[in-house]
Structure 1
Amino acid sequence: MKIWHQSLTTIDRVPHYRDAIIKHVSRIARQDVEVVLHGMSEETYPSHYPGIFITHSYLQNLHREQFVRAALTAEKAGYDAMFIATIPDVGLLEARTLVDIPVVGYGQASFHMASMLGDRIGVVNFLAPLADQLRQNADKYGLGGKLGPIVQTEVGFEDIMAGFNDPEPIIESFKKAAELAIADGADVIIPGEGPMNVFLATHGISRIGDVPVVDSFAAGIKMCESLVDLRKNSGVYMTRRGFYNAKPPVEAVERLREMYGFIPSPNPKDDKGLSVKGIGV
């Protein structure tokens, strides 16, 4: 099985994060699974940190094309599934309408996993402007009633990158924010961004007292594995009814993509990801 991982970061510019993803993904993916890591194009952000370029609605929406193009490329290149490895699930709904391989979002997989582990979901993140989007997404996924507090940590992206070498301050900051969410009624916690999730998983943080901390990367990869297996073994895959799910004609897709200046039909030879082989079970 081959899974396309798509980050919202330019992944090669954040080597601490990239290397931690490699170790984590190799541990959680099955031995028959290859996960190929992909980041945003090098020119997307002026520095290694996305920052304001993902925390405003219009700016973030402009990134959808890279995720849609990735999905089209993945299917043409023979991938079995795609994992959108960012909690806002950028381009998730659009990508699903265009390809028949499963497309799984970090946010949706996390919310559904959390809903099976607890009754009131708390999110601990460091990008405060995303809170509105996370609530809107939870409503779309049918879980708005279970989403409780969203609490920000005192540390940010750069701190977490440095924390791979000095973890204790980051762990303490996360625990402090998680305890605030728990005090406000949360009984399951989702780490709000990929870097925080991978950092916590790297350092074995899976509970705060009696409260589970969802490993969102693991939830996403395992959901990809399960959906691929489900179709292979039972023939079950997503609905194609309705505005948000129906698959448009290929000719119409390619015509409008060309008109708007996008590559009409991406070339699978443009796949330049970093392969990670699973060693899990």
Structure 2
Amino acid sequence: MRLFYQSFGVSRGSRDGLYAQALRRIIQKAAASGTEITVDGLSPHRAIADQYRYLELLDTVEVTEKGLQAEKDGYDAFLVGNIFEPGVHELRELLNIPVLGLRESSIHVACLMGASFSLINVNPKFVPRIMEGVRNQGVMSRLASVETMTVERPGVFDLALRDDDARAEVVRQFTEAANRSIEKGAEVLIPAGGSLMTVLTEAGIHEVNSTPVLNGPLALVKTAELAVQIKQLTGVFTSKRMTYAPPTGKLLTDIRNAYGQHVYPGAT
């Protein structure tokens, strides 16, 4: 099984920097025997402030192109490792392989782990987007709260991967937010962002006051493995009816004439 993990944090620095190394350690540890995972970022000038919709739009174009190439290269699933999941819905319409996102996978796994969950994020601008995603998943009744830390990103998280004091400050703030979540009824805690998830994993934080802290990249990889195995066993995974249905017939011909023969691979 071959999975393509599309990171966004990796692209803000070197693909071999501390964040990239830490993320790869988490992902490789999560992979089952026989699962091969490629971790890649976007172009260096992308993924700067993905909470802004215009910038997300620009990132989405590159993500969809990478998804098309991944399917062409024989990958079995495409993973969008970002809490806002740019390109997930576009790629489910475009591709014939499973497409999984960090937020959806984390929340669905959290709902298996407990009756309620909270999301803990690092930027007030994130909150409306996170709430929008939860509503779209139809699990608002399971959401206990969305809490916000006060760290600046991404610099603090990069520093926390090499500096013990900076890491301790991230852990302190997360723990305070986690306790607020627990008081509001959360049974599972979801760090809302790959960088935060990675720092907490490096610090060995997997629970707060007996409440599990969900590791998002791990959940994403295991969900992707499940999706690929379901497709291998049944021949189908992503529904191509209605929401993710590709164009067909004369319309598809016209679209390919306009946009290129590579779009909607396998559609007829």
TM-score, normalised to structure 1, is 0.84
Contact 1:97 / 1:248 at 8 angstroms: preserved in 2? no
Amino acid aligned to 1:160: F
> Hey, which bits of structure 1, 4+ residues long, moved more than 6 A?
none
Identity percentage of aligned residues: 24
Q: Distance in 2 between matches of 1:206 and 1:23?
A: 16
Residue 69 (structure 2) pairs with residue 73 (structure 1): yes
List aligned pairs for 1:1-281, cutoff 5 A: 1-11=1-11, 13-14=13-14, 15-44=17-46, 50=48, 53-157=49-153, 158-165=155-162, 166=164, 167-242=167-242, 244-249=243-248, 251-257=253-259, 265=262
Q: Distance in 2 between matches of 1:149 and 1:256?
A: 46
Amino acid aligned to 1:133: R
Contact 1:135 / 1:147 at 8 angstroms: preserved in 2? no
Q: Distance in 2 between matches of 1:67 and 1:252?
A: 24
Contact 1:3 / 1:79 at 8 angstroms: preserved in 2? yes
Q: Distance in 1 between matches of 2:234 and 2:42?
A: 34
Residue correspondences, number: 254
**Unaligned 5+ residue runs, structure 1?**
259-263, 267-281
Q: CA-atom RMSD, angstroms?
A: 1.9
Q: Distance in 1 between matches of 2:45 and 2:91?
A: 22
Q: Distance in 1 between matches of 2:140 and 2:258?
A: 34
Q: State the Cα deviation string for residues 31-70 of structure 1 (Å, max 9, x = none).
A: 211111111112336xxxx1xx322222222321111111
Equivalent position SS for 2:18: helix
TM-score, normalised to structure 2, is 0.88
State the match for 1:279 in structure 2.
none
**Unaligned 5+ residue runs, structure 2?**
264-268
Indicate the structure whose relative CO is greater, using CA pairs within 8 Å and at least 6 residues apart.
Answer: 1
Contact 2:10 / 2:19 at 8 angstroms: preserved in 1? no
Q: Distance in 2 between matches of 1:140 and 1:215?
A: 21
Amino acid aligned to 2:175: K
Shift of the alpha carbon at 1:161? Answer: 1.3
Contact 1:68 / 1:94 at 8 angstroms: preserved in 2? yes
Amino acid aligned to 1:238: T
Q: State the Cα deviation string for residues 65-123 of structure 1 (Å, max 9, x = none).
A: 11111111111110000110001111111100111100000000011011111222211
Q: Distance in 2 between matches of 1:257 and 1:42?
A: 26
Shift of the alpha carbon at 1:173? Answer: 1.4
Amino acid aligned to 1:37: V
Bigger mean CA offset, 64-73 vs 1-10: 1-10
Contact 2:12 / 2:45 at 8 angstroms: preserved in 1? no
Q: Distance in 2 between matches of 1:189 and 1:12?
A: 26
